Chains A and B, each alone.
Chain A
Amino acid sequence: MKRILAPLAICLSFPVAAHAYSDPGSGIMLWQLTVSFFIGLLFYCRRIMNFFSRLLKRDEK
């Protein structure tokens, strides 16, 4: 048990890197970029699905 606790205590005693001149809004921006990327993919997925559903409707007729 002591073998686990000692390294943990050492880890906890190191502070997280402080950003001296940080831009607090950057996290929001990165998340927005990520979301936009996936929505962009969704756009093409929907296009492909619409294409296939139109194809199927034509086959039915």
Chain B
Amino acid sequence: MRSRARSFRDPAGCLHFIGVEPVRQVYADFADSCRALVATSFFEGLMHEGQVVRTRVLETTPGHLAPVARPGDLLLAHEAIPFPSFPAEWPFEMLQAAASLTLEVAERALKHGLGLKDATPYNVLFKGPRPVFVDVLSFEPRDPADPLWLPQGQFLRTFLLPLLAAAFLKLPLSSVFLTRRDGIEPADLYRMLGPLTRLRQPFLGSVSLPVWLSGKAEDKGAEMYRPRRLKSEQQALFVLTTLFKGLRRNLGRAGRLRRTSATRWSDYASTCSYDRTAFEQKSSFVERFLRDSRAQRVLDVGCNTGHFSRLAALGGAQVVAIDSDPAVVGALWSQAEGEKLDILPLVVDFARPTPAVGWNNEELPSFLARARGHFDALFMLAVVHHLMVTDQVPLPEILALAARITSRYLVIEYVAPEDPQFKRLTRGRDALYRHCSREWFEAAASESFRIHECRQVAGQKRWLYVMEKTVP
């Protein structure tokens, strides 16, 4: 049951998919407060600013849901987010943006007597570069005299501590989110820090003190979690807003902790072998393709600086750009967010894409499952030789996967074994790739594609191709 697999944890409701349209079933006990929430000006305001997913109440039950809908249930139709992505695929900047949005939504909800039940990155999806809060059931009415935000622990574990680990220890976010649903515990991070670092903020308040107090906390047991009420609602509000400010400050500190150093690919633009003319020629080739094909949804594999993703986005397409280096993906996100380009950059290694993760191995679908059939154009520029040599994937396999992903076009750059970059990758094992001639490449491509256009990049042993899929 695909639709139930993804959001079965919430006792207040679950999510179904009718085609690509998400429909949320809110159970009878929670239906009234949810209906009231959706009608408030607060919620309308959040939707209008694009911070919360567009939602409307469905007055009639769609046919598909008739077997599962119960009397008294509320059905909400949500706007479909074009390409869902998960924290394991986000660079540092995107996780930080999702954290910032969660805090902002929680702060604004506070002023309207509402709170968030949980604070996890899985409540946020990205529409292009913009984070959108999607878990509408997370909102609940709160006691105005309650000075505590119970999800703070989860916020720390799933947002702040992974960000601190990524910034300070260069821990890849994928290693946290692929293996753990609920993030990192303070004790895990504590072990990795030196004694002096443990005494510095932001680690002191977020890591060290919780660890030092954990023994005492264990002794207190369940009594510690009893609901608390202060005599003054203003005091409770003051405590909470101060807590949120503190969390925001820590988020900022995490950003500043990042020791910016060159990663393997971050200085590609200055070190790659293209000269200006060749690059401009490649650029205009892609621009012409975009104009002629009117591609609507583009996947740019190995996007690096995102130059071609940018061209596609400026041409009106929705772009998903993937690269295995989080630093370049993060830089592309900052650029896309600043220029308001419809580019969703993700940290995905095309040779080892994000697997299906979670309960039953189906809670979060794999990258390829989400990508298949979603894109009408696939860019594989300056990437095929890396897949062939570094990742040892045979070319027919690469082309077969490309044919499964794209629904129409493939823009691919063939790199001959004589190319200096290719030679650098083979590390002397040139003999293995001697058979990879252009004729061989074209023959392999013709199994699934029809070649529309071919152009040699001036002065290089590289050819650009536009191909169209012939197999279903």
Give A residues with C-beta under 8 Å from B. 17, 19, 22-36, 39-40, 42-44
Using Cβ atoms and an 8 Å threshold, which residues of chain B touch A42?
242
B239 in contact with A27 (CB, 8 Å): no
Given contacts A30-B216, A40-B147, contact A25 B243 (CB under 8 A): no
Using Cβ atoms and an 8 Å threshold, which residues of chain A touch B218?
19, 22-23, 26
Q: A27-B211, A43-B238 are in contact. List 16 more A-B contacts (CB 8 A).
A: A23-B217, A24-B214, A25-B154, A26-B217, A27-B217, A31-B205, A31-B209, A31-B213, A32-B243, A33-B148, A36-B147, A36-B243, A40-B230, A42-B242, A43-B232, A44-B235
Instruction: Judge whether B153 is part of the interface by a CB distance below 8 angstroms.
Output: yes
Instruction: Judge whether B186 is part of the interface by a CB distance below 8 angstroms.
Output: yes
B147 in contact with A25 (CB, 8 Å): no
Using Cβ atoms and an 8 Å threshold, which residues of chain B touch A27?
186-187, 209-214, 217
Instruction: Judge whether B225 is part of the interface by a CB distance below 8 angstroms.
Output: yes
Instruction: Judge whether B303 is part of the interface by a CB distance below 8 angstroms.
Output: no
By beta carbon, the residue of chain A nearest B154 is A25
Given contacts A24-B185, A40-B147, contact A32 B153 (CB under 8 A): yes
Given contacts A32-B152, A36-B147, A40-B239, contact A24 B225 (CB under 8 A): no
How many angstroms from the CA of A22 to the CA of B216 in the assembled complex? 12
B224 in contact with A30 (CB, 8 Å): yes
Using Cβ atoms and an 8 Å threshold, which residues of chain B touch A34?
213
Instruction: Judge whether B156 is part of the interface by a CB distance below 8 angstroms.
Output: yes
A36 in contact with B238 (CB, 8 Å): no
Using Cβ atoms and an 8 Å threshold, which residues of chain A touch B242?
39, 42
One of A17, A36, A44 near B148 (C-beta < 8 A): A36
Using Cβ atoms and an 8 Å threshold, which residues of chain B touch A24?
185, 187, 214
Using Cβ atoms and an 8 Å threshold, which residues of chain A touch B234?
43
B225 in contact with A28 (CB, 8 Å): no
How many angstroms from the CA of A36 to the CA of B239 in the assembled complex? 6
Instruction: Judge whether B282 is part of the interface by a CB distance below 8 angstroms.
Output: no
A33 in contact with B224 (CB, 8 Å): yes
Shortest B102–chain A CB gap in Å is: 16
Given contacts A32-B148, A43-B235, contact A25 B153 (CB under 8 A): yes
Given contacts A30-B220, A40-B147, contact A35 B238 (CB under 8 A): no
By beta carbon, the residue of chain A nearest B152 is A32
Instruction: Judge whether B130 is part of the interface by a CB distance below 8 angstroms.
Output: no
List 22 A–B pairs whose Cβ atoms lie within 8 Å, in order of A's numbering: A22-B218, A25-B154, A26-B217, A26-B224, A27-B209, A27-B212, A28-B153, A28-B156, A28-B210, A29-B224, A30-B214, A30-B216, A30-B217, A35-B246, A36-B147, A36-B148, A39-B238, A39-B243, A40-B147, A42-B242, A43-B232, A44-B235
